[in-house]
Amino acid sequence: MLAMCAHAGTVITADGVMHEGEITLDHGITVRGSPTLKLTLAAILRARFAAPNPQLQPGVLLVNGGRIAGVFSPLNDAVVKFGAKRIAIPAKEIAWAIYRPLPPALAVQAPRGKTGALLPGGDFFEGTVRSADAASAKILNPIFGPRTFAAGEIHALVLRDFLPQAAAFDVVTRDGSVYPALDVILGDGTDVTVRHPLYNGLRIPVSDLVEIRASASRMVPMDGFKPTRIDPAPNGDAATSFAANRSLGGGELKLGISPVAAGFECATGAAVWWKPAPGPGTFSATVAAGMETPAGQKLTFSVCADGKLAGRSAPLGAGDPPALLRCVVPGAESLVLRIEGATGRGTWAEPMLLRR
């Protein structure tokens, strides 16, 4: 049973440290690595079993910010069913219907407070939604009249605004579903049980898990949203100074010689700006100099909040062990990440804001 339920992956503990190894769930979380850890769910920020798909998959987006992938029954019914999952959701709890894989960057182009269809390319066909199911949607526009869209013609149908609600955890599955949970029960190692009023008692096989993570109210992965500004490195531009979830050359993102699923690669001398959500918290990332950094040169990673230094790593050279950079970040209008050094590039792995 142990071999069947073990998965190679990573765990980030509440102190922001990432641990790699073989993960087993059995009324707790065990990471067999160096060292081997036995943890409770409350002691982790994220347990990742497989690489997540960044796109929103066909299915529905819930008002609470959750996503259920798969074929759904007509949205005009009082209760919408997902037959293969044995889930039934009140129609008023569904914000969007998604018909094609939807990049997050395109999703944010949908106007708030309006109903209609988000079309390929980002255009929005505004109107009153008359009917919809998994195959098509009918929308009444006051100027163009009624129009029926087949599933392949639209990215998403917008029924109402969504407002992510407080939850303790998010459970992400291989089909692209994301279930906000008030609690997650780690069973005997074969499945986990999600506690939430909308899908209480939902059991998810461990083999279907991508990750269990602290909700966005506690952990905000910074690789999930775009910088507000990039000041390029000298003699460079934005494209050669910053890359998210890949290397600057377009290949696999690495922390030293080890691949990582999420983070940034930045050139020395570049400054990358974000506007964080309001409220104080803690910034955390694991950092390392790129392996092409010339011998004898060191890179220093720094974090500034509203122009004031919040944290700085020790100088790191090629081949030096990765370092955890963790610093308190007050409620600030701007957060700036920078790598200082003569030349080269470095990686910020799993950058995140941890909310208090």
Within 10 A of 8 (CB to CB), how many other CB atoms are there? Answer: 12
pLDDT digits (tens, 9 = 90+) for 325-344: 999 888 778 899 999 998 88
Residues of the chain with pLDDT under 50: 1-4
Measured distance CA(341)–CA(6) in Å, rounded: 41
Per-residue confidence (pLDDT) for residue 42, from 0 to 100: 85
- Those residues with Cβ within 8 angstroms of residue 302's Cβ, 6 or more apart along the chain or in another chain: 309, 311, 312, 313, 337, 338, 339, 340
Cβ(37)–Cβ(31) under 8 Å? yes
Query: Cα 344 to the chain's mean position, in Å?
Result: 28
In 3D space, the residue among 285, 301, 283 whose CA is nearest the CA of residue 293 turns out to be: 301
Phi and psi dihedrals of 4, rounded to 5?
-70, -30
Cis peptide before 35 (omega within 30 of 0): yes
pLDDT at position 101 is 92
What backbone phi and psi angles, to 5 degrees, belong to 40? -90, 165
Q: Helix, strand, coil % (nearest 5) of the chain?
A: 10, 50, 45
Query: CA-to-CA distance for 339 and 353, rounded, in angstroms?
Result: 19
Cα Rg of the chain (Å, integer): 22
* Amino acid 110: pLDDT: 87
Residue 4 has what pLDDT? 43
Q: Write phi, then psi, for 33 (nearest 5 degrees).
A: -145, -140
CA distance 87 to 70: 11
The two three-digit tokens of residue 104, written as one number: 């997050």
pLDDT of residue 356: 60
Partnered with residue 285 across adjacent β-strands are 325
Residues 218 and 168: their CA atoms lie apart, in Å, by 8
In whole angstroms, give the CA distance from residue 126 to residue 106: 16
Residue ranges of domains in the chain, CATH in brackets: 2-49+167-215 (no CATH), 59-158 (no CATH), 221-355 (2.60.120.1060)
Q: What is the pLDDT of residue 5?
A: 59
Backbone angles phi, psi at 153, to 5 degrees: -95, -10
CB atoms within 10 A of CB 220: 18
Model pLDDT, residue 208: 94
**How far apart (Å, rounded) are the C-alpha atoms in residues 186 and 154?**
38
pLDDT in tens, 95-154: 999 999 988 878 878 888 999 999 988 899 999 999 999 999 999 999 999 999 999 999
Given this model, what pLDDT does residue 151 score?
A: 93
The per-residue pLDDT for 14 is 79
Tell me the CA distances in angstroms from 123 to 94, 109, 238, 331, one per residue in order. 22, 8, 27, 35
Integer angstrom CA distances of residue 183 from 171, 195, 208: 10, 5, 18
> To 5 degrees, how large is the angle CA 295–CA 301–CA 304?
155
The answer to whether the beta carbons of residues 188 and 26 sit under 8 Å apart is yes
Report the alpha-carbon distance of residue 255 to residue 27 in Å, rounded.
32
Give the Cα separation of 151 and 135 in Å (integer): 5
Contacts of 92 (CB under 8 A, 6+ apart): 63
What kind and span of H or E run contains 265?
strand 263-267
In whole angstroms, what is the distance from residue 201 CA to residue 182 CA?
11
